Amino acid sequence: MRRTRSELSRRTVLASVASLAGIAGLGFSPARAAGPVLTRPIPTSGETVPAVGMGTWITFNVGENTALRDERVEVLKTFFDLGGTMVDSSPMYGSAEAVIGYCLERVPDPQRLFSATKVWNWRQGAGRAQMADSRRLWGVERFDLMQIHNLLGWEGHMETLKADKAAGRVRHIGITTSHGRRHGDFAAIMETQPLDFVQFTYNILDREAERRLLPLAAERGLAVIINRPFRRGELFDRFERHPLPAWAAEFDCANWAQFFLKFVIAHPAVTCVIPATSRVDHMRENMGALHGRLPDQAIRQRMVAYVEGL
Ligand SMILES: NC(=O)c1ccc[n+]([C@@H]2O[C@H](COP(=O)([O-])OP(=O)(O)OC[C@H]3O[C@@H](n4cnc5c(N)ncnc54)[C@H](OP(=O)(O)O)[C@@H]3O)[C@@H](O)[C@H]2O)c1
């Protein structure tokens, strides 16, 4: 298995160092390039994760094509080099989990990984088999985070995940949704189940989560992963041809990607955002959001007004 006990211990030590930095009020952990990166604590475990992770829907679903797989190796390598740890996937994403496994075998530092995937099946028994398959595809002994994808068959999977966590077969558990779907059901589960993480959509145009899910996550002490921060790329199509406002420099924002990502991670309830990309240059832009100042609440409102006025 790829993740040996000593690798896990090393990661725990690194996490402790990072969390000590957080306790000291720094909230940063070391990266190999460009200095320390912004990290956030997972409230239930105290471990920290960098505030930008990586999604894999579509971008890592490249099948058996070796040239495309090798391009994704470079994307993942760049992600780790720039301080990233959390990779999010799902059995719903075609070949993405197999491609992640291929990439992890080829990056020099795979123990940086915080592995997050999902169970996506109506039936509890089939869900167990699916999670075992995901471990095999990624090449990990256990996942750092297992999420119930879009609440599919959630009652049965919740039983499995609670037992798995108690037995140490998974480290954190959570639920996901996207596109603003089923927020009522989602909130009810947040209120009653012993979750570590929740994942949902939030971006500068889709702000429904501000009403209930983000405040509830803060109240319940849950880590929050944000998906679709670029609205699946649509934000670039709509706004990229316009100039960034000059005041974006006030929060160290060099491009539109950082504008969109810093908007998300500056929300106090957000732990981590998971943009997806197939490109190394885009990965570099995205990971730049882990550096420099963040916008405060007044500036975030100005950011919304600016894009809505374009
Ligand atoms: N229900 C769920 O659990 C759920 C639902 C949706 C998403 N998710 C997770 O969240 C992740 C992110 O959401 P998403 O993939 O839907 O969309 P997204 O991250 O909002 O957007 C991805 C798109 O943005 C483009 N992009 C990325 N960085 C860029 C940059 N710097 N400049 C210009 N374009 C850039 C990518 O194209 P390039 O490849 O050209 O960079 C890609 O087309 C998913 O991959 C998945 O892991 C989970």
Q: What is the pLDDT of residues 119-153, one digit of tens each?
A: 999 999 999 999 999 999 999 999 999 999 999 99
Q: How many domains does the chain have?
A: 1
Answer yes or no: is 14 within a domain: no
Structural domain contains residue 94: yes
Rg of the Cα trace of the chain? Answer: 18
Separation of alpha carbons 183 and 188, rounded Å: 9
Q: Which atom of ligand 1 is nearest to the CA of 255?
A: 31
CATH number at residue 113: 3.20.20.100
Flag whether 212 is in a domain.
Answer: yes
Query: Tens of pLDDT along 11-29?
Result: 333 333 333 333 333 355 6
Residue 229 maps to a domain: yes
- Mutual angle of helices 256-265 and 297-308, in 10-degree steps: 130
What does the alpha-carbon distance between residue 42 and residue 59 come to, in Å, rounded to a whole number?
26
Tell me if 44 is assigned to some domain.
Answer: no
Query: What's this model's pTM, rounded to 2 decimal places?
Result: 0.92
Q: Which of 57, 186, 200, 286 to mutate to test the pocket of ligand 1 (most atoms within 8 A of CB)?
A: 57
pLDDT along the chain (310 residues), means of 10: 36 35 43 78 97 98 98 98 97 98 94 96 97 98 98 98 98 96 96 98 98 98 98 98 96 97 98 98 98 97 97
Residue 139 CA, ligand 1 centroid: distance in Å: 24
Whether residue 18 is contained in a domain is answered as: no
* In a domain? residue 12: no
Domain limits for position 224? 49-308
Q: Is 6 domain-assigned?
A: no
